[in-house]
Amino acid sequence: MNTEIISVILILLLTFLLAIPLGKYIARVYAGDKTMLDPIFGPVEKLLYRICRIDATREMTWEEHLVALLTINIVWFAYGILILMNQGWLPLNPDDNPSMTPDLAFNTSISFVTNTNLQHYSGESGVSYLGQLTLMLYQFISAGAGMAMAAILFHALRERSSSTLGNFYNYFLKSCTRILLPISFIVAVILVFNGTPMTFEGKDTITSLQGDTVQVSRGPAAALIAIKQVGTNGGGFFSANSAHPLENPNFITNMVETISIPLISIALIFALGYYLNRKKLAWMIFGVMTGGFLLSLLPTLYFEMHGNPSLTTMGIDQSAGSMEGKEVRFGSAASALWAILTTCTSNGSVNAMHDSLTPLSGMFTMLGMQINAFYGGKGVGLLNFYIFIIIAVFMSGLMVGRTPEFLGKKIEVREMKIAMIVFLLHPLLILAGTAMSSYLLYLHPEYGWLNNPGFHGFSEMLYEYTSSSANNGSGFEGLGDNTPWWNISCGIIMLLARYIPIIGPIAIAGILAEKKYIPENAGTLKADTGTFGVMTFAVIAILVALSFFTALALGPIAEYFSMV
């Protein structure tokens, strides 16, 4: 078997094997059970609660949870804009990077607060060290907030009948201190020992192998890179992200970072099973998500490892696969694996340039973000999958003539309306944004956003809005996106696409938690069976195909047929 394929299998197996015990640990954290990290972080958490005057034991309704989430995000959003627009004269700026323009600061602050980490700037020259540290803090906050929402969902699904669902601040802080911080610390240490910089000194002068004197950017990179992967954030310290040799020096760091991307997202699935004591349900969800992930990964591996047929006709050797835009130290298979993982998990970091992927590989990266529920972002991936479960339960109930129920609670009209609004928002934002940008460029071709005309140029715009709406952050970087139009339009989409898909599932969970529990009987639809898993997968496939096939046909599919 090809050694590249063996490495892909090894990485996936290690990820799955680590996710199961981690899921059990996460369930214990959210359930309030004792863990080995209690003596370390318990006093710190109590001190923070005392300073902020927060009662972490007070039970909160689902509405209060959402108010708390939105409040802290508004505060950090405003603080981020303040720092980014003034970083030019603030401390920790040894390279004298300039302050951001208002539209770019607006986009960047929203991007990091919403766990999107879309970067319309170059990391080395666009942000000071103070700005990088601020954005690193946001990568903990955004991931921790998403995980706290998943914990609230867990609590709601476990309750027989309750109007309160734990405490948001308790879930949020524990997500950051007990889960994100320890794993990020381990990853950062591995990166430092493999050559990733962790310093506050400015650029260093080196002499290249060909005798040129060049300035090499440095900074507190290792810490930021660790949480960017562990928290499915994706925002790179350097402009080339994890394709940069200082962000991702060798195959060992590439493997560690690749495992870090989906690890907690997968672990949260098993945490749900442990928390609810419904392990079969967790395995059903894991099976559907993993099946969908593999259906995107396998063809992408094939296309990238077999090279670009257009280059083959020019007599260029493609034995190593499609290596345009990829790093030789990783190869085509590891780059394909990263591309699918980073888009299925709303991570957005890259170790190869997605703009250089073969057309159908680019399509599968977009599909991962358009589905946005195969593993997904920290916590939010489960919330998105919960919406598909609600729709599948309702459709299954209609098909067999029974009242739709999920875990002992009736699914009625109000819940279905919320679920459909949440689902329809995603294609609306992506397709409306792409349509408006296409029309605006048609009216004003002098704007010159696209370096690639035709089908690929359309794909670049479709990818940008797909990435924004999925809170992913990666891009087809042939697009000139640092303009007021792209900064503001993508910022608005990131804002809507982050909070409405959180508000909707938590509202459904809170409404169902208040309903009377109905014990399971012979007529109850089992939600933890393979049959229901197939039904859920079919619902996802049909809804996403109906929503996005036409747009994909105009972009990557048309480009593929024009190429062959």
Dump pLDDT digits (tens) for 338-382. 999 999 999 999 999 999 999 999 999 999 999 999 999 999 999
| Distance between CA atoms of residues 15 and 459, nearest Å | 31
CA separation, residue 544 to residues 10, 36, 221, 226, 315 (Å): 30, 43, 37, 32, 39
pLDDT band at residue 477, thresholds of 50, 70 and 90? confident
What pLDDT, on a 0 to 100 scale, did the predictor assign at position 444? 87
| Distance between CA atoms of residues 188 and 144, nearest Å | 18
* Mean pLDDT calculated for residue range 113-141: 94
pLDDT band at residue 108, thresholds of 50, 70 and 90? very high
Nearest to 15 by CA among 385, 294, 382: 294
Residue reference for tokens 């990733």 = 196
Dump pLDDT digits (tens) for 253-293. 999 999 999 999 999 999 999 999 999 999 999 999 999 99
| Distance between CA atoms of residues 521 and 317, nearest Å | 63
* Mean pLDDT calculated for residue range 98-103: 96
Q: Is the dihedral of CA 202, 206, 208, 214 positive or negative?
A: positive
Choose the weakest-confidence range: 236-250, 252-266, 309-323, 375-389: 309-323
pLDDT band at residue 452, thresholds of 50, 70 and 90? confident
| Distance between CA atoms of residues 22 and 130, nearest Å | 32
Three-point CA angle 133, 139, 142, nearest 5°: 140
Spell out the domain ranges in the chain.
3-563
What pLDDT, on a 0 to 100 scale, did the predictor assign at position 1? 58
What pLDDT, on a 0 to 100 scale, did the predictor assign at position 314? 81
Q: Give the global pTM.
A: 0.96
Statement: residue 145 has pLDDT above 80:
yes
Q: Which amino acid is at 413?
A: V
Cβ within 8 Å of residue 158, ≥6 positions away = 275, 276
| Distance between CA atoms of residues 194 and 63, nearest Å | 46
518 contacts 407 by C-beta, under 8 angstroms: no
| Distance between CA atoms of residues 4 and 323, nearest Å | 14
Nearest to 530 by CA among 292, 289, 281, 290: 281
What pLDDT, on a 0 to 100 scale, did the predictor assign at position 523? 67
Statement: residue 126 has pLDDT above 80:
yes
CB burial string 128-160: b at 16+ within 10 A, e below = bbbbbbbbbbbbbbbbbbbbbbbbbbbbbbbbe
Q: How many CA atoms lie within 13 A of 507 on its CB side?
A: 15
Residue 69, exposed/middle/buried by CB under 10 A (0-12, 13-18, 19+)? buried
Nearest to 357 by CA among 327, 326, 383: 326
Cβ within 8 Å of residue 175, ≥6 positions away = 29, 143, 144, 145, 147, 148, 151
What pLDDT, on a 0 to 100 scale, did the predictor assign at position 526? 83
* Mean pLDDT calculated for residue range 194-215: 88
What pLDDT, on a 0 to 100 scale, did the predictor assign at position 132? 95
| Distance between CA atoms of residues 154 and 165, nearest Å | 9
DSSP state at residue 315: T
CB atoms within 10 A of CB 412: 14
* Paired tokens of 63: 């509405």
Which percentage of the chain shows pLDDT scores above 70? 99
Q: What is the mean pLDDT of the chain?
A: 93
| Distance between CA atoms of residues 474 and 347, nearest Å | 8
CB atoms within 10 A of CB 411: 23
DSSP state at residue 376: -
CA separation, residue 302 to residues 11, 39, 288, 314 (Å): 18, 49, 22, 21
What pLDDT, on a 0 to 100 scale, did the predictor assign at position 307? 84
What pLDDT, on a 0 to 100 scale, did the predictor assign at position 359? 94
| Distance between CA atoms of residues 475 and 26, nearest Å | 32
What pLDDT, on a 0 to 100 scale, did the predictor assign at position 378? 92
Which percentage of the chain shows pLDDT scores above 90? 80
Task: Return the beta strands (E) in 250-358 as ranges.
Answer: none
Dump pLDDT digits (tens) for 41-65. 999 999 999 999 999 999 999 999 9
| Distance between CA atoms of residues 357 and 47, nearest Å | 49
DSSP state at residue 374: S
500 contacts 425 by C-beta, under 8 angstroms: yes
CA 72 to chain centre: 20
| Distance between CA atoms of residues 417 and 414, nearest Å | 5
Statement: residue 521 has pLDDT above 80:
no
Helix, strand and coil percent figures for the chain, each rounded to 5: 65, 5, 30
CB atoms within 10 A of CB 529: 13
439 contacts 379 by C-beta, under 8 angstroms: no
450 contacts 441 by C-beta, under 8 angstroms: yes
| Distance between CA atoms of residues 157 and 171, nearest Å | 16
